[in-house]
Each structure stands twice: as structure tokens, then as C-alpha cells.
């Protein structure tokens, strides 16, 4: 499937095809699985609409969104590195997306007015419920790599869901400062009292990381460690115990070193495919105001990742 650039916007709606109505923007974006997630859903919902990929250069997001609107686009997904620029470019921003510092879903009305949302956070809530049959708000959580964009969205969601413990771990501790400053706004003061603060931070090389992991129910990896099949796990996996739930936001490879080790330690594991699925389903729900055909979307993703099986 073709990836368009802004200079090719005039070509997105050739005669004889269903009109392009939805798009994912990013840079690079040709690897994005969003079309394989959304196109089958649009077909199932009889929308007669295409979902396309558009590569946009940094600094051109606001202009790009308006050009896409003029070309007939009604809804946009935003991927790296544009989630902050998208937030700054929208006319209106959902308060939770503001807390997360990122917009991954844009709804455009008939007048070209844009509203930005973040479905990564609520998508994660749905992913955890589906994978482990538990509510995020019932779990003591540690996020490994909370300094990145995905980590921040998930951390915010955990606090919005009132998780009783949230430990943010990062290689570079200072990178957590802006996140904790924002998150302290949604952590009422009285909840910060007690034997352990509800929200704490720790460096990945801190000797107390082992204890922090032992005290957690859910361990989430949001670092990029694991994207290469030869990558190690982001922390010593001998610390994982059978009571742990381990979620890796990486889905390709399907089982990172972290997940393989966690499984052999007896923990329950899940990869980021469910997050990709549910954040996409929520985007579709914002655009079309109807329930997303989740199984169709799941099948679309599966066949994109395993084309030989489908």
C-alpha cells in the first residue's frame, strides 16, 4: 500500500475508488499497521472509505492536518514523532490527552475544527482487562522506561484509574521530572501519605529496583529494549516471580527476551498487540460514534503480522 507525502495530497482521492476519509500520520509511517487494523473495520461497517498513510515532516503537522481536511479526511491517527506536535496543533484537546502530553487521535468536523484525544491510555486499560482479566486500578504497577512517550501515557492512565502503587523506572532519572510534575496534579495529597508514596521514581540501575519489582503485581516494559531479537531484557529477569503479570508494549518480535524469561519464571505474559488493537478501536469509536468491530480488527492485525497464515 502506497505511503503519501503532503505534496501528493491531491492524489489521495482518484476516481473510481472509495474516498480516503481516514489517515495515519508519522515519520516514518510506511511500517504502520494502522491501515491493516482500520480498513477491515471500515469495510465491515460499510463505510465506503479508505484509510491511508501520510508521511509528514516535523514542523508541518498543523499545516498537514488542514491539507488533509481539505482533501476530505475526517479522522487521523498520529504516530511517532508527531504526538506532541499534534497536541499543539489541535483546536481542542481532551484533558487526559493534555496530561499525557500526546495526541494520537484527531477528529475533524465539517468546518475543519480539530479535537485531539489520546487512546493509548484507555486502550491500555482495555488491553490489561482482556489479557489478564483484571482492572488496571486494582494493580500495583511498575513501568520500566517511563521516560518515553508510551510510558507517560500508560503512567497517566494508571493514576487516572487509581492504581494503588505506581513506580516509574527509567535509565535516565531526570527524564521523569516533567512526568512526575504533571502526574502529581492528579494524585491527591492525602493519597501520598502512608508507608509508601503512591507515585515514586527509581533509576534502572538502583539496587532497590529488585525490591520495587517484588512489590509490584504488573510489570510493564515501555523501553525500546527488545525491538531487536538479540536485545537483552531491560532488567535482570531472575527477579520475576510467578505472581507477576508482565506486559511488554513491543509486539514485534512477539516474544521479547523479557517475555520469554518471564514465561519460564512462571509469570503470566502479554505483548503490545492488544494495546495496538484497543487504541485503534477507540480511535474508530471517536470517529464513527459506534462500537468498533474488535474481532475484525484483531484478524486484520494478525494477518498483517503473519501474512503466510491468512
When binding is defined by CB under 6 A, the residue of 39, 47, 201, 223 that contacts ligand ATR is: 223
Main-chain phi, psi angles of 167, to 5 degrees: -110, 125
Instruction: Please work out the total of residues on this chain that contact ligand ATR, with binding judged by CB under 6 A.
Output: 16
When binding is defined by CB under 6 A, the residue of 5, 43, 98, 224 that contacts ligand ATR is: 224
Query: Is 83 tagged catalytic?
Result: yes
Cα torsion 216, 220, 224, 225 to 10°: value is: 50
Q: Counting contacts by CB under 6 A, is residue 300 touching ligand ATR? A: no
Task: Confirm if 155 and 188 have CB atoms less than 8 A apart.
Answer: no
Q: Counting contacts by CB under 6 A, is residue 172 touching ligand ATR? A: yes
DSSP structure class, residue 240 = -
- Window of 20-28, 38-46, 141-149, 250-258 that interacts with ligand ATR by CB under 6 A: 141-149
User: Minimal CA–CA distance to 209: which of 146, 159, 161, 152?
Assistant: 146
What's the rounded Cα separation, in Å, for the pair 243 and 274? 21
Q: Counting contacts by CB under 6 A, is residue 219 touching ligand ATR? A: no
Say how many Å lie between the first and final Cα of the chain, rounded.
Answer: 18
Pick the closer one to ligand ATR by CB: 25 or 42.
25
Closest distance to ligand ATR from the beta carbon of 294 (Å): 25
Task: Confirm if 120 and 104 have CB atoms less than 8 A apart.
Answer: yes
Q: Which of 2, 83, 140, 255 is catalytic?
A: 83
Q: Counting contacts by CB under 6 A, is residue 234 touching ligand ATR? A: yes
Which parts of this chain interact with ligand ATR (CB under 6 A)? Answer: 80, 145, 147-151, 170-172, 175, 204, 223-225, 234
- The residues carrying an active-site annotation are 83
Amino acid at each position: 500500500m502506497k505511503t503519501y507525502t503532503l505534496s501528493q495530497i491531491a492524489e489521495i482521492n482518484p476516481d473510481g475508488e472509495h474516498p480516503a476519509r481516514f489517515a495515519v500520520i508519522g515519520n516514518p509511517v510506511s511500517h504502520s499497521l494502522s491501515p491493516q487494523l482500520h480498513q477491515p473495520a471500515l469495510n465491515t461497517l460499510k463505510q465506503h472509505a479508505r484509510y491511508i498513510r501520510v508521511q509528514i515532516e516535523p514542523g508541518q503537522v498543523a499545516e498537514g492536518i488542514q491539507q488533509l481536511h481539505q482533501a476530505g479526511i475526517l479522522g487521523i491517527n498520529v504516530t511517532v514523532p508527531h504526538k506532541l506536535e499534534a497536541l499543539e496543533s489541535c483546536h481542542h484537546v481532551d484533558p487526559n490527552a493534555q496530561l499525557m502530553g500526546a495526541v494520537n487521535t484527531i477528529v475533524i468536523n465539517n468546518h475543519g475544527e480539530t479535537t485531539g484525544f489520546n487512546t493509548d491510555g484507555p486502550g491500555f486499560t482495555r488491553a490489561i482487562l482482556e489479557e489478564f482479566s483484571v482492572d488496571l486500578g486494582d494493580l500495583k504497577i511498575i513501568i520500566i522506561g517511563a521516560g518515553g512517550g508510551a510510558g507517560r501515557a500508560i503512567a497517566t492512565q494508571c493514576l487516572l484509574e487509581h492504581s494503588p502503587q505506581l513506580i516509574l523506572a527509567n535509565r535516565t532519572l531526570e527524564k521523569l521530572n516533567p512526568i512526575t510534575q504533571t502526574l502529581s496534579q492528579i494524585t491527591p495529597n492525602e493519597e501520598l501519605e502512608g508507608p509508601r508514596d503512591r507515585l515514586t521514581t527509581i533509576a534502572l540501575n538502583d539496587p532497590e529496583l529488585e525490591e520495587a519489582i517484588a512489590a509490584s503485581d504488573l510489570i510493564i516494559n515501555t523501553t525500546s529494549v527488545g525491538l531487536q531479537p538479540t536485545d537483552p531484557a531491560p532488567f535482570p529477569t531472575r527477579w520475576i516471580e510467578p505472581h507477576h503479570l508482565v506486559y511488554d508494549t513491543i509486539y514485534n518480535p512477539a516474544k521479547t527476551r523479557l517475555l520469554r524469561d518471564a514465561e519460564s519464571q512462571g509469570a503470566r505474559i502479554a505483548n503490545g498487540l492488544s494495546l495496538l488493537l484497543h487504541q485503534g478501536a477507540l480511535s474508530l469509536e471517536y470517529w464513527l460514534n459506534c462500537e468498533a468491530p474488535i474481532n475484525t480488527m484483531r484478524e486484520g492485525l494478525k494477518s498483517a503480522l503473519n501474512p503466510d497464515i491468512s
